[in-house]
Amino acid sequence: MTMALSDLSDLPGSSDLLTRVLREQQTLRTPVALFSDEFDSQSVRDRFTHLIPLSKPNPGEQYAFQVNLDACTGCKACVAACHSLNGLDEDESWRDIGLLVGTRKQPYLQTVTTACHHCEDPACSNGCPVLAYDKDPVTGIVRHLDDQCIGCSYCILKCPYDVPKFNLKRGIVRKCDMCQGRLAEGEAPACVQACPNEAIKIQVVKRSEVPDRGQIIPGAHDSSYTRPTTAYVSSKPVPETAKPADSSRLDLDHGHPPLAWMLVLTQMSAGGFLGAALAPLSLNEAALTSSAALLFGLTGIALSVFHLGQPLKAWRAFLGWRKSWLSREIITFGALPVCGIVIAVAWWHGDLLMLKLAIGGSALAALGAVACSVMVYADTRRPFWSPAMTGGKFFGTTFLLGASLCAVVWSWGSVYVLPWAMTLTVVLRWMVSIWELSRYRQALADESCAWHKSARILQKHHARHIEWRGVLLIMTGLVIPVVIAAGAPPPWMLTSSLLLTFTSQLIERHYFFTACHGPKMPGN
């Protein structure tokens, strides 16, 4: 329907006007001088004095958020104000709003504003390997030291309220600091300033009186873990049926691929060392087996660096050893290269006893590292990562891949204990898988199971992966052994079996993270 541009061609002044208008549009003539200095509104300091404490906390006290649920009616201004007044990134805010809904007969609707709870026993801080958290001794504010952070994200896994958030652009975590600089000057935090209904206040609480049981709000994690200081108050009791509006969501968590690789490789390494230590091997056989174990272990450790947002600062990772299992895991991993050197020296000397001792020590160190790995996750108190589940998976992987690795190395070297390793591999293959699968079926069927949600996430998002793992199980637990029995060359068959088993464990480790369903405050 294009028509010729016609009769207007000789319109006088068009280009003049167009130029003028386009220029005018780009000119800012805000009458700044006229009135920007004209008003001097009541300063922020005076307007909110009734919402913040007048003096600093006494010893044994700290600052805490108090939220009046009656006044929190869902406007979400606090979220926007936190973002805006703190100069955060486009999608970043340290406050969030969730919704509690009632079901069955009782209509109920309650929006819940939430930020960092500045816990009395902050899990983020306890887990940090580099001491990048500081609980201010005077104010009790749990502050994150952005320049100390190595971006390992462990605090994200440790916090049961989903407070610290990874900032991809900067490779670190950032979180709410209760606008401590504002409070220090007698100004209210951004969220307190922004709430139209004055629902958010800062109060001083006695540290000893911060609740260590129950939940701060339905849907929140049990307070015994971190002793969160935020208090939600309401004139109307929250009904028992109330639950977070997003409670039926089955979302995937972050997959942390470098960690998945690291865990499987280091566990295979530990199993390899164990095999090398236990089997009656010759000097060269023992050296070869332990070298293979060492190689995979070091590869795993190297890969884990890709997990860090600030790897250059990772040298400080030992600092948190007093409380952080991650710090301890990293320290134990640090023993591996040392073990490698000792093993090499023993082999160079041709001293079988010394080599055996070195390998035995390495095996212990590596198993210790696996134990630390288990604790890293168990310490997050996430049901899917319970000590039993994580321990079973990690040590199961250790023994299974260890046996499998030994079988491969020994098959190429024609070691006479090979049949033992082969048998053990097959037995473990079935044991670990049957254990895992039965736990999964159980959790899926039992709604009261602590990790029922994770089981449903597995079912919803990973059904295909579980099927693939079933195929891999048949391949490695049945087909390959039968083929070997029928006379196929063991070295090649066993190597394939190791690769396939490794793949299977890697898949499991992927959904170990994605299906974890970390606890959080009520969402939308």
Partner 1 sequence: MLTFPAINFREWSGPLTADLVRKPAKFGLGQLPARRMPDATTKAVCGFCSTGCGLNIHLKDGAAINLTPDPDYPVNIGTACPKGWEALSVLDAPDRAKMPLLHGKEVGWDTALRYFCDQMKRILDQHGPEAAAFLSTGQIMFEEMAFLGALAKFGMGMIHGDGNTRQCMATAVTAYKESFGFDAPPFTYADFEESDVLVFIGANPCIAHPIMWQRVLRNPRSPEIIVVDPRTTETAMAATQHYAIKPKSDLTLLYGLAHLIIQAGGVDQAFVRASTNGFDEFAAFAADFTPERVAAETGIGIEGLRHFAQTIMNGTPRVSFWWTMGVNQGHQATRTAQAIINLALMTGNIGKPGTGANSITGQCNAMGSRLFSNTTNLLGGHDFRNAAHREKVAKATGIPVERIPDLPSLAYDQIIQAADEGTVKAIWFVATNPSHSWIDQNEMNRILGKLDFLVVQDMYCTTETAKRAHLVLPAAGWGEKEGCFINSERRIGCSPKVRRAPGQALADFHIFRLIAHYWGCAEVFREWQTPEAVFRVLQRCSEDQPCEITGIEGYDMLRRSGGVQWPFRKNQHQTSKIQNSERRLFEDGSFFTPDRRAVFCFDKPVPAPELANDRFPFVLMTGRGTSAQWHTETRTAKSEVLRKMIPQDLMLELNDQDAAALGIRDGQDVRVISKRAELTAKARLTACVKPGEVYLPMHDARVNQLTHASFDPLSRQPSYKHSAVRVEADLTSISLQRRAGARTCVRPSSSQA
Q: Which of residues 441-480 bind partner 1 (CB under 8 A)?
A: 444-445, 447, 452, 456, 459-460, 463
Instruction: Between 172 and 281, name the residue whose CB sits nearer to partner 1.
Output: 172
Helices (H), 379-521: 387-413, 418-445, 452-461, 463-474, 480-485, 490-514
The rounded distance, in Å, linking the Cα atoms of 399 and 202 is 52
**Distance in Å, CB of 472 to partner 1, minimum:** 18
Q: Which stretch binds partner 1 (CB under 8 A): 139-147, 328-336, 368-376, 386-394?
A: 139-147
Verify binding: residue 181, partner 1, rule CB under 8 A: yes
Verify binding: residue 487, partner 1, rule CB under 8 A: no
Verify binding: residue 439, partner 1, rule CB under 8 A: no
Tell me which residues in 272-331 interact with partner 1 (CB under 8 A).
310-313, 315-316, 319
- The position carrying tokens 């790897």 is 311
Residues 338, 171 contacting (CB under 8 angstroms): no
Site map (CB under 8 A) of partner 1, residues 65-84, x = contact: -----xx-xxxxx-xxx-xx
Phi-psi map region of 256: left, alpha, beta (phi>0 left; psi -120 to 50 alpha): left
Instruction: Between 146 and 222, name the residue whose CB sits nearer to partner 1.
Output: 146
Verify binding: residue 55, partner 1, rule CB under 8 A: no
Interacting residue with partner 1 among 63, 64, 96, 340 (CB under 8 A):
96
Instruction: Between 2 and 55, name the residue whose CB sits nearer to partner 1.
Output: 2
**Distance in Å, CB of 83 to partner 1, minimum:** 5
**Residue 62 neighbours by CB under 8 Å, 6+ apart:** 118, 120, 139, 140, 141, 204, 205, 207, 229
The rounded distance, in Å, linking the Cα atoms of 127 and 156 is 10
Of all helices (H) and strands (E), which one includes residue 6? none
Instruction: Between 31 and 487, name the residue whose CB sits nearer to partner 1.
Output: 31
Q: Which stretch binds partner 1 (CB under 8 A): 16-24, 112-120, 212-220, 400-408?
A: 16-24
Verify binding: residue 489, partner 1, rule CB under 8 A: no
Beta strand segments in 29-123, E: 61-68, 96-101, 109-114
Question: 243 forms bridges with which residues in the sheet?
Answer: 101
The rounded distance, in Å, linking the Cα atoms of 80 and 195 is 10
**Distance in Å, CB of 406 to partner 1, minimum:** 36
The rounded distance, in Å, linking the Cα atoms of 326 and 460 is 31
Question: How crowded is the C-beta side of 387, counted as CA atoms within 13 Å?
Answer: 4
- How many chain residues touch partner 1 (CB under 8 A)? 112
Closest CA to 183 of 204, 157, 209, 167: 204
Tell me which residues in 189-228 interact with partner 1 (CB under 8 A).
193-197
Of all helices (H) and strands (E), which one includes residue 183? helix 180-184
Q: Which stretch binds partner 1 (CB under 8 A): 156-164, 174-182, 213-221, 371-379?
A: 174-182
Interacting residue with partner 1 among 121, 136, 146, 436 (CB under 8 A):
146
Q: Helix 418-445 to helix 452-461 angle, to the nearest 10 degrees?
A: 100
Site map (CB under 8 A) of partner 1, residues 110-129, x = contact: xx------------------
**Distance in Å, CB of 302 to partner 1, minimum:** 17
